[in-house]
Structure 1
């Protein structure tokens, strides 16, 4: 066996070990919640040696942040929807679809989002990671608003960064309401209403 093949096998083993730890962590977090979960529980569930486990992750916060980034990447795919409308009607349709998909994703990922919310309130490290995720979304929304302004579709006297922050925080508020089961209207109705207010305030 060549040195290259040995290295490939080691790399593959490393990837599998990392995935086993992440899957075990997800299961333990969902069973125990963030606060009660210990790295020991995760390692034992993954059936991985302690020394090997600590090569990949230093603790439960690091595991959770990787899981949070993975889940939020699915949300971000919605934010990355191609946004090059030529008319207000096109922009309206895209924004309505994005808002609806974003809030439905919160429902789909409710169990893990509940763990994330708990961790954000307890861990400064996880809280800072959430702030970075939030900044990424706001930056993307800001780009879309700036595009609409350049095309003469949106009111150009508005600050696209401030509007982007307001729009994301509105979505985030309803996201957590859905995660906590603290909503009475349907997700479709929530999405339709908040998107309509946003569009009417921003677009000409």
Structure 2
């Protein structure tokens, strides 16, 4: 076996160890919550050597932000759906579909999203990560609004970036309310109300 093959094997082992730590982290965070979870618990559950977790992650905050990317992937996929409507009706139908899928994705990860909410409140690193996630969504929504404005479907005088922020923050708050059980899980009603409010104000 030559050096390149040995390196490849070592890299694969490192990737597997990292994956094991992330899986263990998810399990520990779900059981203990963010504040009570420790790297020692994660290391033990992953069956890795003492301190191995610190080779891959600076601390539990760092590991948690990696988990957040995985959790948010479904939502990124929803936000990344093509948006090129030719009519107001087409736009509304797509907005309604995306809004429902966004909320549904959060509910599918309900228990983990509760931990995310807790972590945002106590960790500056996680809060910064959430802000970068927000920025990614808002950027995409801004482009969608600019498209429909350019197409003559939406009111041109509106500031696309400002409307995008307002739309995302409204969805985010409702998403947290759904995850925390503060409003009923009637996704159809929630999605229809939000979408009609948004489309009714933005579109001509």
Q: Note whether the superposition's TM-score is higher than 0.5.
A: yes
TM value normalised by structure 1: 0.98
Cα distance in 2, alignment partners of residues 184 and 13 from structure 1: 45
User: Corresponding residue for 1:83?
Assistant: 83
User: Corresponding residue for 1:56?
Assistant: 56
Q: 1:1-204 maps to which residues of 2 (within 5 A)? A: 1-184=1-184, 186-204=186-204
Instruction: State the 1:87 CA deviation.
Output: 1.1
Structure 2: state its 5+ residue gaps: none
- Label 1:185 to 1:29 Cα distance change in 2 as closer, same or farther (>3 A): closer
Q: Contact 2:178/2:184 (CA < 8 Å) preserved in 1? A: no
RMSD: 0.9
What CA deviation, in whole Å up to 9, does each residue of 1:90-140 have, x standing for no partner?
A: 111110000011111111110110010000000111111101100110000
What CA deviation, in whole Å up to 9, does each residue of 1:30-74 have, x standing for no partner?
A: 000001000000000000013432110121101110001111122
What CA deviation, in whole Å up to 9, does each residue of 1:147-182 have, x standing for no partner?
A: 000000100010000000000001000110011011
Instruction: State the 1:184 CA deviation.
Output: 2.7
- Secondary structure at the counterpart of residue 36 of structure 1: coil
Cα distance in 2, alignment partners of residues 44 and 182 from structure 1: 35
- Secondary structure at the counterpart of residue 191 of structure 2: helix
Cα distance in 2, alignment partners of residues 188 and 71 from structure 1: 23
